[in-house]
């Protein structure tokens, strides 16, 4: 989710009022214990970092530590469990970290160099398909020196490796509680992060309490946080209004955001905070499916999809059309799909199909998840179906599953076409290309493109100046357009809605767009 010079949270949209005779301070000004409740539609699919390359990271960031991380406002990784880290050679193939002194896991085990090595090695030994093993392609081996020094030896230069280490997938786990050969599935967490996971009920809630032994960068402004998981976006704002939750960070519908921004609900004491987003949505085509595996069918769909209409009708300005897998705001962004296909055109789409010998409407099934990306997902796919069928060239059946079973399905290659979202591991063009190609693609299906994997990515990873890699990534985008295995649709903005008495929302989303719960607090008055 990391190199770009700027992916920082935007300023809050709602201003803070100061009343005569009354001031507002962070919660630290009061002796009352700070307990908050935060709502989201993004529940974890796993509690084990070795299996997580999805929004499970949002819980993990708060209960685990990584060697380096992203404090609010930073644009490059800074020490967390490590005291310092650096490349020790000019070729960016040896990365050395020295640990903080006195670190311990919540079960009392020492967090030393061997524990770090164990945590990273088990990701590879378990090798979850579609999991974070795909992020460690440049790692050769992990070496320890004494109790406090870890050296990562890379098989090839990789200037992005520190950013990989900063992802929650590289969270440090207690060796005594985590098998090196299987994913932990007992619903518990043993980490060293800012919070302890006091209780967990899948699909319902996580109870976080302050870790009294934490040593790291997080300045915790509250004592405990309950994260509540909602199945439908429509329940989030009502829960806020009722005081059942204090804030929400994923899952607001476009209608909710627009209403809060326009202050249409005069009785609401809520604020809306907008952050720059690099999250994207796209379609994935299964090359083994008879229809989706036909390049002409994929190109015809690319020629028909009207992104402007999709964004206007479904997302109402809370998203914008995307014509590349690399979104706006990230180095090397292009409009490659628009440059190739132009505006939606039924005649051109028909010609693409007839030239390939397809004269009858193509029947296809599109799949989406019901509980990962918010309640606008179903209307989004209904609009895609409408657009494609209006051309007379397609007949689309829509099907859906909850995220856990949906994820299992696409990893097995069960779906001919399905929708995915991508919240960046780090704000660098590498992270919008590399995860989707190669044998370990996060789509669950290998996507072998040698020019990208053996030429363009290795060339770019030698360059520590990430603004100087545009040539390689512009070419990679051309290749993706030629294949149309992935069809970008839109990129979004991120919003935090909160009660007027809640502070810290503008600092809560880190450059990985992961919620740092410790930044939230209840304002105290005098």
116-174 confidence digits (pLDDT tens): 999 999 999 999 987 899 889 899 999 999 999 999 999 999 989 999 999 999 999 99
50-82 confidence digits (pLDDT tens): 999 888 999 999 999 999 998 876 767 899 999
Position 32 scores a pLDDT of 67
Long-range CB contact pairs, 13-22, < 8 A, 24+: 13/261, 13/271, 13/272, 13/273, 13/274, 14/271, 14/272, 14/273, 14/500, 22/525, 22/526
Position 289 scores a pLDDT of 97
From the centroid of its chain, how far is CA 266?
A: 33
DSSP codes of every residue in 325-362: SSPTTSTT---HHHHHH-S--HHHHHHHHHHTT--SPE
Other C-beta atoms lying within 10 Å of the C-beta of residue 231 = 15
Position 428 scores a pLDDT of 84
Position 267 scores a pLDDT of 56
Strand partners, 68: 79
Q: Which portions of the chain are predicted below pLDDT 50? A: 1-29, 526
Position 25 scores a pLDDT of 44
Q: Which residue has the tokens 């997302």?
A: 315
Position 265 scores a pLDDT of 53
Cα dihedral sign, 351-352-354-360: negative
CA distances from 477 to 149, 257, 282, 433, 452 (A): 39, 32, 14, 8, 10
- Determine the 3-state secondary structure of 379 from DSSP: helix
Residues sharing a CB contact under 8 Å with residue 235, sequence separation 6 or more, in sequence order = none
Other C-beta atoms lying within 10 Å of the C-beta of residue 60 = 27
Strand partners, 30: none
286-324 confidence digits (pLDDT tens): 999 999 999 999 999 999 999 999 999 999 888 999 999
Q: Which residue has the tokens 């770090």?
A: 116
As a whole number of angstroms, the distance between CA 407 and CA 422 comes to: 13
Q: Which residue has the tokens 């685990």?
A: 64
As a whole number of angstroms, the distance between CA 38 and CA 40 comes to: 7
Position 18 scores a pLDDT of 29
Q: Which helix (H) or strand (E) holds 321?
A: strand 319-321
Structure tokens at 387: 């657009």
Strand partners, 421: 281
- Determine the 3-state secondary structure of 24 from DSSP: strand
8 Å CB contact between 223 and 55 = no
Q: Convert 35-82 into a string of H (helix), E (strand) and C (coil).
A: EEEEEECCCCCCCCHHHCCCCCHHHHHHHCCCCEECCCCCCCCEECCE
CA distances from 387 to 305, 306, 349, 380, 513 (A): 7, 7, 12, 11, 31
């Amino acid at each position: 989710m990391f190199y770009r010079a700027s992916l920082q949270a935007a300023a809050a949209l709602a201003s803070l009022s100061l009343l005569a005779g009354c001031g507002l301070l962070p919660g630290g000004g009061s002796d009352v214990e700070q307990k908050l409740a935060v709502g989201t539609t993004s529940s974890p699919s796993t509690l084990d970092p070795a299996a997580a390359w999805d929004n499970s990271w949002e819980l993990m960031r708060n209960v685990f530590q990584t060697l380096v991380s992203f404090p609010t406002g930073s644009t490059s990784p800074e020490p967390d469990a490590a005291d310092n880290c650096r490349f020790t050679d000019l070729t960016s193939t040896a990365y050395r970290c020295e640990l903080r002194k006195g670190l311990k896991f919540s079960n009392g085990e020492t967090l030393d160099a061997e524990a770090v090595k164990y945590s990273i090695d088990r990701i590879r030994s378990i090798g979850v398909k579609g999991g974070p093993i795909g992020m460690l392609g440049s790692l050769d081996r992990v070496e320890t020196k004494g109790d406090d020094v870890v050296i990562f030896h890379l098989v090839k230069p990789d200037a992005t490796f520190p950013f990989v280490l900063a992802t929650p997938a590289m969270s440090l786990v207690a060796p005594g509680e985590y098998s090196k050969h299987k994913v932990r599935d007992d619903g518990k967490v043993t980490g060293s992060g800012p919070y302890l996971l006091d209780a967990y009920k899948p699909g319902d809630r996580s109870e976080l309490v302050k870790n009294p032994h934490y040593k790291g960068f997080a300045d915790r402004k509250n004592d405990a946080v309950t994260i509540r998981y909602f199945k439908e976006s429509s329940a989030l704002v009502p829960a806020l209004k009722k005081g059942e939750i204090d804030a929400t960070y994923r899952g607001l519908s476009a209608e909710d955001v627009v209403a809060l921004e326009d202050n249409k609900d005069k009785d609401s004491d809520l604020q809306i905070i907008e952050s720059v987003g690099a999250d994207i949505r796209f379609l994935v085509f299964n090359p083994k499916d008879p229809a989706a595996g036909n390049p002409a069918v994929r190109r015809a769909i690319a020629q028909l999809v009207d992104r402007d209409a999709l964004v206007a009708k479904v997302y109402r300005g809370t998203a914008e059309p995307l014509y590349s897998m690399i979104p706006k705001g990230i180095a090397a962004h292009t409009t490659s799909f628009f440059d190739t296909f132009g505006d939606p055109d039924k005649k051109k789409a028909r010609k693409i199909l007839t030239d390939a010998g397809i004269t009858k409407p193509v029947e296809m099934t599109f799949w989406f998840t019901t509980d990962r990306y918010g309640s606008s997902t179903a209307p989004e796919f209904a609009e895609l179906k409408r657009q494609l069928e209006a051309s007379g060239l397609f007949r689309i059946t829509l099907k859906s599953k909850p995220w856990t079973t949906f994820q299992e399905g696409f990893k097995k290659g069960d779906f001919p076409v399905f929708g995915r979202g991508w919240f960046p591991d780090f704000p660098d063009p590498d992270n919008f290309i590399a995860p989707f190609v190669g044998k370990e693609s996060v789509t669950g299906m290998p996507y072998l493109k040698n020019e990208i994997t053996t030429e363009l990515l290795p060339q770019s990873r030698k360059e520590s100046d990430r603004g100087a890699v545009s040539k390689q990534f512009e070419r990679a985008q051309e290749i993706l357009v030629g294949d149309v295995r992935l069809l970008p649709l839109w990129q979004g903005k991120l919003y935090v809605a909160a009660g007027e008495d809640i502070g810290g929302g503008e600092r809560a989303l880190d450059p990985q767009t992961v919620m740092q719960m410790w930044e939230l607090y209840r304002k105290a008055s005098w």
